Amino acid sequence: MLAKAVPRPCSGAGRHGAPAARLRSVGVAGGPRRGGAGGRLVAADAGERMPVVAVAAGKQPVNGAAMAGIDKLVTSTVGKSTNILWHDCPIGQFERQKLLNQKGCVVWITGLSGSGKSTLACALSRELHSRGHLTYILDGDNLRHGLNRDLCFEAKDRAENIRRVGEVAKLFADAGLICIASLISPYRSERSACRKLLHNSTFIEVFLNVPLEVCEARDPKGLYKLARAGKIKGFTGIDDPYEPPSDCEIVIQCKAGDCATPKSMADQVVSYLEANEFLQD
């Protein structure tokens, strides 16, 4: 019969009556933190007084009495969110990238409906997977089954759709993954806003430059036919504009009767990733 383990003391004396280790308190030290000026959390031995941090412009201190051992925490207001504080972790993007043997980035595929965005995304993911690299696809239609199912196709909701995808893509890139976003994303301003969320070199815009007549002839979902019949309003390319990129990283050209295979398109993107050291051996 197994003997019961002797319970360890929770407070007061340590093992065999020795004094317990002194509790450490958490406070704020000066220094930069992600997202702008502010403080960073540090630990100190009990009894050691933590320095008071000056409150930066646009930020407010948390009531010091709410948490023992903390003089002041600098919080922020971001959008409609108030009293929030960014917490850093010792395991960051660098450590995750080292573990995965690749650099996190966002491959943002844009183009008209029917241009082959989802096809390219899947071909690219398959090619990178075969080489031992971890990817994740954010497909516009797939996301509207869950994350963005509360959004319609009016201008305001389309903008919010792109904003959400940009924020999620940023998280995947920070996790060290090669995130492949596949969306029409018709407006330059919205794609530019997503680019600004990341370090510029880690946002790779891929433009599938396929003429409208080719996309309409394909019409895989029958949407162009519905738009021409007036049953869909605000359809990109018909009664709503598509603004092609003016300075993207990769352009894949397709003309009637002369379109590259999904594999060759994927290889073009992989070549860019290799040349810019996103794929490490």
Domains by residue range for the chain, with CATH: 95-275 (3.40.50.300)
pLDDT above 60 (res 239): yes
Q: How far apart are CA 202 and CA 183, in angstroms?
A: 18
- What the block records as the tokens of 111 is 């183009």
Residue 129: enclosing H or E segment and its boundaries? helix 117-130
- What the block records as the tokens of 16 is 């065999």
Best CA proximity match to 216, nearest among 127, 131, 114 = 114
The pLDDT of residue 61 is 52
Average pLDDT, the chain: 82
Residue 142: enclosing H or E segment and its boundaries? helix 140-143
The 3-state DSSP class for residue 122 equals helix
Q: How confident is the model at residue 65 (pLDDT cuts 50, 70, 90)?
A: very low
On whether the CB atoms of residues 141 and 148 are closer than 8 A, the answer is no
Check if 185 is active-site.
yes
In terms of Cβ atoms closer than 10 Å to its own Cβ (0-12, 13-18, 19+), residue 204 is: buried
The pLDDT of residue 138 is 98
Q: How far apart are CA 179 and CA 172, in angstroms?
A: 6
Query: What is the tens place of the pLDDT at every residue in 94-147?
Result: 999 999 999 999 999 999 999 999 999 999 999 999 999 999 999 999 999 999
Q: How far apart are CA 23 and CA 252, in angstroms?
A: 60
Q: How far apart are CA 176 and CA 65, in angstroms?
A: 39
Q: Name the H helices within 147-211.
A: 155-174, 188-196
pLDDT above 70 (res 14): no
The pLDDT of residue 28 is 41
If you average pLDDT over each of 58-67, 71-80, 218-227, 255-264, which comes out highest? 218-227
The pLDDT of residue 273 is 97
The 3-state DSSP class for residue 172 equals helix
Residue 69 vs residue 15, higher pLDDT: 69
Which position among 11, 182, 185, 271 bears the catalytic label?
185
* Across 23-27, 216-220, 259-263, least confident range: 23-27
The pLDDT of residue 68 is 55
Q: How far apart are CA 177 and CA 250, in angstroms?
A: 20
Query: What is the tens place of the pLDDT at every residue in 141-165?
Result: 999 999 999 999 988 999 999 999 9
Q: Name the H helices within 198-261.
A: 212-218, 223-228
What is the CB neighbour count within 10 angstroms for residue 138?
22
Q: How confident is the model at residue 258 (pLDDT cuts 50, 70, 90)?
A: confident
The pLDDT of residue 208 is 98
pLDDT above 50 (res 11): no
On whether the CB atoms of residues 107 and 63 are closer than 8 A, the answer is no
On whether the CB atoms of residues 86 and 76 are closer than 8 A, the answer is yes
CA 57 to chain centre: 27
The 3-state DSSP class for residue 244 equals coil
pLDDT above 80 (res 41): no
- For the entire predicted model, the pTM comes to 0.74
Q: How confident is the model at residue 24 (pLDDT cuts 50, 70, 90)?
A: very low
Q: How confident is the model at residue 255 (pLDDT cuts 50, 70, 90)?
A: confident
Q: Name the H helices within 20-116.
A: 93-100
The 3-state DSSP class for residue 103 equals coil
The pLDDT of residue 74 is 81
In DSSP terms, 149 is beta-bridged to: none
Q: How far apart are CA 167 and CA 169, in angstroms?
A: 5
